[in-house]
Amino acid sequence: MYSEETQRKLIEKTREFLNLDIKSIDRKKAESIIEDLREVIRFHDWRYYVLAQPVISDYEYDKLFKLLKDIESKYPDLITPDSPTQRVPSEITKVFPQVKHLTPMLSLDNSYNEADLRDFDRRVRELTGLEKIEYAVEPKFDGAGISLIYEKDLFKRGATRGDGEVGEDITNNLKVIKSIPLSAKFSSYGIDKVEIRGEVLIRKDIFKRINEQRLEEGLPLFANPRNAAAGSIRLQDPKEVAKRGLEAFVYQITYAEKDGKNLLGTVLKKHSDNIKMLHLLGFKTPYEVLKVCNGIDEVIDYCREWERKRDNYPYEIDGMVIKVNDISLYEKLGFTSHHPRWAIAYKFKARQATTKIIDVVFQVGRTGAITPVAKLQPVEIGGVIVSSVSLFNEDFIREKDIRIGDTVLVERAGDVIPYVVMVIKEARTGNEKPIEFPKNCPSCGSPLVKPLGEAVYRCININCPAQVIERIIHFASKDAMDIKGLSEATVKKFYKLGLLKSIPDIYRLDFRIIKNIQGFGEKSVNNLKQAIEESKNRPLYRLIYGLGIRYVGEVTAKTLASAVNCLEDLKNFTITDLMKLPDIGDKVATEIYNFFHNEQNLKMIQQLKELGLNVCNPKEEKKGKLAGLNFVFTGALKCCSREKAKEIVESLGGNVLDTVSKKVHYLVVGEEPGSKLQKAQKIGTIKIINEEEFLKMIEKKQESF
DNA sequence: TAGCCTCGAGTTCA
DNA sequence: CTCGAGGCTA
């Protein structure tokens, strides 16, 4: 057992060790830290295996373990018999009876890149004397490992991994998992007794539901689906286990006998065939996603493919497993003390990491919304360095009890945007400072207001500098007036220099001054000049959208544009008039009405008109061949960007929507489609077409672009 | 009035 | 992409 104080110190040391590079460690340094490092690893073993509440990510644990292994291989005389490297960690909660596995449950050696995989392949080829190896490659499920024994076709016993030699008997809990057959006709394959390895998993969407429920009940959250699965299979009450929606995948036969004789490698020759057999016997297996690869190049390709699409897979996977497919070679290849030489794991870049919150700053958005943003000690997640993360609003901070100085678990999933999963409370020193929400706007100092029932504070001063800047950025952005060369950074720079204080100022920029600004040459100035000139001719709806009226996005802007001939006509609309338009209720109508009855705004509109911007719709309305049809895109298109495709569809009279619903007529499926495809299939009435078919539909008109 | 559907807004890094 | 909230419909 560890006291709170000890735990805190150990976590602190963890961070130190994580920043160490093996190259910087000499003999003296090694001697001085090695025992501490072992103690740190033992502590994390305890958090992970005993409490099922790890305080660091797997990736970080692997890093620590690797550091210890590296030091020990550099200075082998420092190895002690009780070093964590000398055994797979044990300590098991005593609730379940302990049982011995038929064959040890070893972990796999890890690889992190192409070079590691090629090394592995080279070793396998050397040891077997073969020129090219056939590999079976499958996703590495991130769940809780289990071992199942079937005797005379009956499910006899199921166990956790434990220390690899001895696990816990959780047969009763596993029996409630429906994807584990209680009986399977192994006898029809001439097998009396078999030991199977697998993984208990929770689907990502179910994991989310469980955590939502735990939040409501005030229970500690699970950091990820694996923790949830590991915690769930060891619940005392199988009835509770049944409620958790667990599933079990099996991926390896480690023992099979007939009349006391071993069948592996003799009768059961190929791993891929074993998986097929398990699949046919009614087990959940990676059968559909297992690929037999001839040679390491195919393996690497397949790993890459999965690294790209792993987020679309309903189960959490943290890498790929590569196994030599020919089981008769296993004997020749053998084992090291930790792992088989005939298999290796290829680990994807981690998407979770822990780091410290250094500070919290408050940003002012275009609508005046105040967003707290945590500045982090930079940390690598999924291949990029993350140094800041949004904390959204006060409720989020309160719910998670986030404080400055806290160590937090940060995740960067498929959506790319980092997110604070939880605070590692064990790491607290007592010096953490609560996050105080400002009473005044950090940009202009005016008092903030929080409308009843809303989650965010707002600065309501429309001339607040931060808001003005954001509005100009929005106006120039791609979806609005699309002024290339007037990026976020440029707007900020010009504002600071006093060149750009309002939207109309864009069209009054003095280019003689800009030429003298560092970073602007002849060419960039000319490009900017031209882009600004071109933006004067944008269609009316883009201008309306660019004005940044609250609740008026692209769609509502189009509604408004098509209701009038010219921008000024909107001045004459009463709230009631506006509410007659589709999808505009009283809230939206009021905002629009207020905007067009604000003197400052009217002056701006007048100025924009005088500066030569298009403020009217074209006279005649052209109808295209796609008139009235709604499109949605999913996946990447080969022909062009989505923007371009959207433009083409709209030019032909069609619409492009963001989400799949009954209104949609066509779903265009590109490469690696997302969840929209399933949704569309479920609705049924949507015509699902691929890119080729789509191109055919728009073909005749396409040359003009 | 509840629940569905859609739109708007916010969001990180390079 | 996701969440929250506005608008619409049963």
pLDDT band at A90 (very low <50, low <70, confident <90, very high): very low
pLDDT digits (tens, 9 = 90+) for A203-235: 887 888 788 777 777 777 788 888 889 888 888
Q: Which of A148-152, A373-377, A514-518 has the lowest mean pLDDT?
A: A514-518
Task: Look at residue A99 in the predicted model and tell me its pLDDT.
Answer: 93
Give the strand order in the sheet containing A291-294.
Answer: A110-111, A343-347, A317-324, A134-141, A291-294
Measure A453 CA to B2 C1' (Å): 19
Answer with the residue of higher pLDDT: A692 or A628.
Answer: A692
**Residue A680 clears pLDDT 90, i.e. is over it:** no
**Residue A623 clears pLDDT 70, i.e. is over it:** no
What is the average per-residue pLDDT within A648-661? 78
Nucleic acid strand B within 7 Å of A655 CB: no
**Residue A702 clears pLDDT 60, i.e. is over it:** no
Residue at minimal CA–C1' distance from B4? A661
Q: Which of A65-69, A85-89, A181-185, A289-293 has the lowest mean pLDDT?
A: A85-89
Measure A252 CA to B3 C1' (Å): 46
Task: Look at residue A237 in the predicted model and tell me its pLDDT.
Answer: 77
Measure A384 CA to B14 C1' (Å): 9
**Residue A92 clears pLDDT 60, i.e. is over it:** no
What is the average per-residue pLDDT within A542-547? 92
Nucleic acid strand B within 7 Å of A390 CB: yes
Q: Please, is A167 exposed, middle or buried when counting C-beta atoms within 10 Å of its C-beta (0-12, 13-18, 19+)? A: buried
The structure tokens listed for A171 are 């047969």
Nucleic acid strand B within 7 Å of A367 CB: yes
Helices (H), A281-360: 296-309, 330-333
> What string of DSSP letters covers A368-419?
SBEEEEEEEEEEEETTEEEEEEE--SHHHHHHHT-EET-EEEEE--TT---E
**Residue A313 clears pLDDT 90, i.e. is over it:** no
Residue at minimal CA–C1' distance from C8? A583
pLDDT digits (tens, 9 = 90+) for A407-434: 999 988 766 788 898 888 888 988 999 9
**Residue A506 clears pLDDT 50, i.e. is over it:** yes
Task: Look at residue A584 in the predicted model and tell me its pLDDT.
Answer: 87
Helices (H), A178-321: 204-216, 225-232, 238-243, 271-280, 296-309
What is the average per-residue pLDDT within A431-451? 88
pLDDT digits (tens, 9 = 90+) for A520-538: 888 888 889 999 999 999 9
Contact A139, A286 (CB under 8 A): yes
Give nucleotides in strand C with any atom < 7 A to a protein C-beta.
Answer: 1-2, 4-8
Measure A581 CA to B7 C1' (Å): 15
What is the average per-residue pLDDT within A33-47? 89
Answer with the residue of higher pLDDT: A597 or A243.
Answer: A597
pLDDT digits (tens, 9 = 90+) for A237-256: 777 777 788 889 999 999 99
CA A161 vs CA A142, A233, A421: distances in Å: 14, 12, 27
Q: Using the CA of A413, which nucleotide's C1' is the nearest one?
A: C1
pLDDT band at A302 (very low <50, low <70, confident <90, very high): very high
Nucleic acid strand B within 7 Å of A384 CB: yes
pLDDT band at A52 (very low <50, low <70, confident <90, very high): low
Measure A93 CA to B10 C1' (Å): 44
Footprint of strand C on the protein (CB under 7 A): A 414-415, 417, 453-455, 551, 579, 582-589, 658-659, 674-676
Q: Using the CA of A588, which nucleotide's C1' is the nearest one?
A: C6
Task: Look at residue A334 in the predicted model and tell me its pLDDT.
Answer: 92
**Residue A7 clears pLDDT 70, i.e. is over it:** yes
HEC string of A484-501? CCCCHHHHHHHHHCCCCC
pLDDT band at A66 (very low <50, low <70, confident <90, very high): confident
Which of A115, A29, A107 has its CA nearest to residue A67? A29
pLDDT digits (tens, 9 = 90+) for A547-586: 999 889 888 898 899 888 899 999 989 888 888 888 888 8
What is the average per-residue pLDDT within A181-186? 90
Nucleic acid strand B within 7 Å of A685 CB: no
Q: Using the CA of A392, which nucleotide's C1' is the nearest one?
A: B10
Q: Using the CA of A312, which nucleotide's C1' is the nearest one?
A: C1
Q: Using the CA of A388, which nucleotide's C1' is the nearest one?
A: B12
Q: Using the CA of A590, which nucleotide's C1' is the nearest one?
A: C6
Q: In angstroms, rounded to a whole number, what is the distance separating the alpha carbons of residues A390 and A384?
A: 16
**Residue A399 clears pLDDT 90, i.e. is over it:** no
Nucleic acid strand B within 7 Å of A661 CB: yes
Q: In angstroms, rounded to a whole number, what is the distance separating the alpha carbons of residues A400 and A437?
A: 15
**Residue A443 clears pLDDT 70, i.e. is over it:** yes
By annotation, the residues of A acting in catalysis are 140
CA A509 vs CA A154, A466, A475, A536: distances in Å: 81, 20, 15, 14
Task: Look at residue A415 in the predicted model and tell me its pLDDT.
Answer: 65
What is the average per-residue pLDDT within A622-634? 73
% of chain A surpassing 70 pLDDT: 95
Nucleic acid strand B within 7 Å of A373 CB: yes
Contact A626, A649 (CB under 8 A): yes
Nucleic acid strand B within 7 Å of A657 CB: yes
Nucleic acid strand B within 7 Å of A366 CB: yes
**Residue A89 clears pLDDT 60, i.e. is over it:** no
Measure A677 CA to B12 C1' (Å): 27
**Residue A622 clears pLDDT 80, i.e. is over it:** no
What is the average per-residue pLDDT within A5-10? 91
pLDDT band at A13 (very low <50, low <70, confident <90, very high): very high
Q: Which of A84-88, A109-113, A316-320 has the lowest mean pLDDT?
A: A84-88
Task: Look at residue A700 in the predicted model and tell me its pLDDT.
Answer: 54
Give nucleotides in strand B with any atom < 7 A to a protein C-beta.
Answer: 5-14
**Residue A370 clears pLDDT 80, i.e. is over it:** yes
Measure A190 CA to B5 C1' (Å): 56
pLDDT band at A703 (very low <50, low <70, confident <90, very high): very low
Q: Which of A105-119, A188-202, A411-425, A612-626 has the highest mean pLDDT?
A: A188-202
- A257 phi-psi bin (left φ>0, alpha ψ -120 to 50, beta other): beta
Q: Which of residues 398-417 of A touch strand B (CB under 7 A)?
A: 416-417
Nucleic acid strand B within 7 Å of A556 CB: yes
Nucleic acid strand B within 7 Å of A418 CB: yes
pLDDT band at A628 (very low <50, low <70, confident <90, very high): low
What is the average per-residue pLDDT within A649-657? 77
Mean pLDDT of chain A: 87
Measure A389 CA to B12 C1' (Å): 8
The structure tokens listed for A354 are 């822990």
Measure A371 CA to B11 C1' (Å): 11
Measure A657 CA to B12 C1' (Å): 25
Task: Look at residue A704 in the predicted model and tell me its pLDDT.
Answer: 39
Nucleic acid strand B within 7 Å of A439 CB: no
